[in-house]
Amino acid sequence: MNDILAQLIPEKEKQAQAQAVTQEIIAHLEQQEGVVECIAGGSCAKGTNLKNNFDIDIFVRYKPSVKDYSRNLEKALSPFQTERVRASRDYFMFTYKGHEIECIPVKYITSVSEAENSTDLSPLHVAWAKAHLSSEQANDVRKAKQFCRVAHVYGAESYRKGFSGHVLEILIIHHTTFDHFIQAVSEWTFPVHIGDASKKLNPSKTAGPLVVVDPIDPERNAAAAVSFQQAKQLQKQARAYLAQEEKEAFFVLQPFTLPEGNLHVVECTPLEGNKDIALTKVLKVYEWITRGLEEEGFSIRTQGWNPETPTTTMYWEVEEEKLPSTYYRQGPHIDQKEAVQSFKEKHQERAEQQGDYYVVLEKRKHPHIRDCLTHLINTSYTQERCIDIFIKED
């Protein structure tokens, strides 16, 4: 495990450079009108960042009397070439001295009740993590992050629906070590509740596989973004990890390769701009095509998509390449008298009874998988959500 950890811990010199850049920007921002203080956030500040990952987050805490935090921050960052990111409260991204930097405007608060936006709580999350993570646990968070990266479940972005660094920090603190965390994951019975069970969370935030009560805001589920698919994938990986004597492979990120099979592959180039927004739109395209194939009558044997590369790869394998040219579309149940009458009037002699339902014989629009895919990728829904999309030739 020590060899694995050595591959994950950043070099001290590069860590110091990132800290120096952070302090330089903070010193500039804290001179600006309305700013109470700036807090370095993210994994760099908490000592849980992975090797060669020195992205910098800075929370700029404004006096509550300031009217427009984002506008004030944009003015304060005028010496830098920033990109404004649209969000519940806009924030700013830019590159400085080789580092990717995000500056997030927040309201200065001392308690949860004063927050106007979820980002207002972020400095409190940073303070909580730094106060509760030992140096050994910080390294265990690094191992948990890399483990999740290899399993393709790291990140709470809308297109990923996985585990954020913040959630992994809470889980490591809760389970005390990486090994205890992995053991617990392998034994999960969904839904899983971690934290004070007496806290009443919004039902909309507890519908997923995992409830992790936020240590700063007990009414918030820190793991609300995690999908059942990603939670089950992590559990599958945890069980495989425990079953193997050799552990190193579980921390080595492998390049994407297509699975074996008679696959139909589509390549998609995301829109430019914010990565989360662009890849979320690609995910919607993938889901749209999948739904379209199923609605046409294709039974999908294997499917997947890979958002890790500049050009996103989607793939499907179906039970039958070509379907019958016609199919029976199910209509109303025989007991639904009014619906049956309407169905008969609409379809006339084409309406017929099969068992307990009325049906009508329809012509299939795209009986061949290739034709169906071609139709789906050329719809306006698909074309508006990516720069380019095409079927990859064998």
SS3 285: helix
- In this predicted structure, what is the pLDDT of residue 72? 97
pLDDT per residue, tens digit, the chain (394 aa), is 668 888 999 999 999 999 999 999 999 999 999 999 999 999 999 999 999 889 899 999 999 999 999 999 999 999 999 999 988 999 999 999 999 999 999 999 999 999 999 999 999 999 999 999 999 999 999 999 999 999 999 999 999 999 999 999 999 999 999 999 999 999 999 999 998 766 677 777 788 999 999 999 988 999 999 999 999 999 999 999 999 999 999 999 998 899 999 999 999 999 998 888 899 999 999 999 999 999 999 999 999 999 988 899 999 999 999 999 999 999 999 999 999 999 999 999 999 999 999 999 999 999 999 999 999 999 999 999 999 999 998 7
Residue 145 sits at φ, ψ, to 5 deg, of -60, -50
Q: What type of residue is 346?
A: K
Question: Do the strands 264-269 and 210-212 form a parallel or antiparallel pair, or are they unpaired?
Answer: unpaired
Among 372, 242, 232, 255, CA closest to 309 = 255
**What's the confidence (pLDDT) of residue 273?**
83
Residue 129 is predicted with a pLDDT of 96
The tokens describing 189, both together, are: 């019975």
Residue 221 · residue 205 · CB < 8 Å = yes
Q: Is 94 exposed, middle or buried (0-12, 13-18, 19+ CB in 10 A)?
A: middle
Predicted confidence at residue 352, as pLDDT, reads 95
Structure tokens at 292: 């379209």
**Domains plus CATH for the chain?**
8-120 (3.30.460.10), 135-251 (1.10.1410.30), 264-322+366-391 (3.30.70.590), 326-363 (no CATH)
Q: How far apart are CA 285 and CA 159, in angstroms?
A: 11
Q: What is the pTM for the complete model shown?
A: 0.86
Count Cβ atoms below 10 Å from residue 43 Cβ, excluding itself: 24
Q: Report the residue count for the chain.
A: 394
Q: Note the pLDDT of residue 205.
A: 76
Euclidean distance between CA atoms 251 and 1, whole angstroms: 10
- Quick one: which H or E segment has residue 84? strand 83-85
Residue 393 has what pLDDT? 86
- Using DSSP's 3-state secondary structure scheme, residue 158 falls into coil
- Asked if 146 contacts 163 with a C-beta cutoff of 8 angstroms, the reply is no
- pLDDT at res. 196: 77
Token pair belonging to 229 = 């698919």
SS3 359: strand
* Residue for token pair 């596989």: 209
| Beta-carbon count within 10 A of 370 CB | 12
